[in-house]
Amino acid sequence: MKSIKNKLSEIKSKIDEKVTVVAVSKTKPIYDILKLYEDGHFDFGENKVQELIVKNKELPKDIKWHMIGHLQRNKVKQIISFIHLIHSVDSIRVLNKINDEAKKINRKVNVLLQVKISENDLKYGFDLNEVQNLLENDFLKKYDFVNVLGLMGMASFTQNNNIINDEFKALNSIYSKFKKTYKFTTLSIGMSGDYELALKNNSNMLRLGSIIFGHRS
């Protein structure tokens, strides 16, 4: 069996170095993260605030933590001082909250807007039309303590690559349309099962869990 270290370096060797791989370590132990860290990997993703806080406490401070799961407003405060990138901003209310909490500690916080591109029962994210409308109306101007670096999306859970491709394409078209205006740098699409399709659709940030760490129980 290949080590998680080998799995990650194999994937990295196949993709452009401009693409950031976020190793999604949710449910996985500290020592798995350390193995990759000691091998020079610094970007890790978690989807639960509680787990993120514990891991942040126990692990080296130069790890770049990515929050990729739904973030409740009352938990923003707990991660605001150390989070590297919040991928999962799915409402104006949570964006306002992040701005308020960031202002209190005078730290500019990096975020992505999560867009609902799948027809599935995924509950979170702005609708495509909604996000397009917001961006057309220059609404990001008023956030002094938030850097919106780009967009994030999750494709449908399906074997049908055409569906996944269409979903990624739709998100990339909005991303590309507003890239210049907002100086976007980051399109976070692609997970273990669909990252190759995501790369074909301009992804420069992959969130990879099971393909590196093995299946989660």
CB-wise, 26 or 73, nearer to ligand PLP? 26
Query: How far is Cα of residue 197 from the mean position of the Cα atoms in its chain?
Result: 17
**Residue 44 burial by CB count (10 A; 0-12/13-18/19+): exposed, middle or buried?**
buried
Binding-site member from 7, 20, 65, 69 for ligand PLP (CB under 6 A):
69
Residues numbered 2-61 forming contacts with ligand PLP, rule: CB under 6 A: 24, 26, 47
CB 168 within 8 A of CB 189: yes
Please identify which residue in 15, 193, 202, 214 interacts with ligand PLP, judged by CB under 6 A: 193
Q: Is there binding between residue 208 and ligand PLP (CB under 6 A)?
A: yes
Supply the minimum distance, in Å, between the C-beta of residue 183 and ligand PLP: 24
Q: How far is the CB of 11 from ligand PLP (least distance, A)?
A: 11
Q: Which residue is nearest to ligand PLP (CB)?
A: 209
Q: Minimum distance between the CB of residue 216 and ligand PLP, rounded to whole angstroms? A: 7
- Residue closer to ligand PLP (CB basis): 88 or 99: 88
Choosing from 68, 94, 164, 205, the residue that interacts with ligand PLP (CB under 6 A) is: 68
125 touches ligand PLP by CB under 6 A: no
Subset of 74-93 contacting ligand PLP (CB under 6 A): none
Residue number, 14 or 177, with CB nearest to ligand PLP: 14
The size of the chain, in residues, is 217
Residues sharing a CB contact under 8 Å with residue 102, sequence separation 6 or more, in sequence order: 80, 108, 109, 145, 146
Smaller CB separation from ligand PLP, 66 or 97:
66
CA distance 59 to 37: 9
204 HSE (CA, 13 A, CB side): 13
State how far the Cα of 93 lies from the Cα of 124, in Å rounded to an integer. Answer: 13
The burial of 192, by beta-carbon neighbours within 10 Å (0-12 exposed, 13-18 middle, 19 or more buried), is given as middle
Residues forming contacts to ligand PLP in the complex (CB under 6 A) are 24, 26, 47, 68-69, 154, 191-193, 207-211
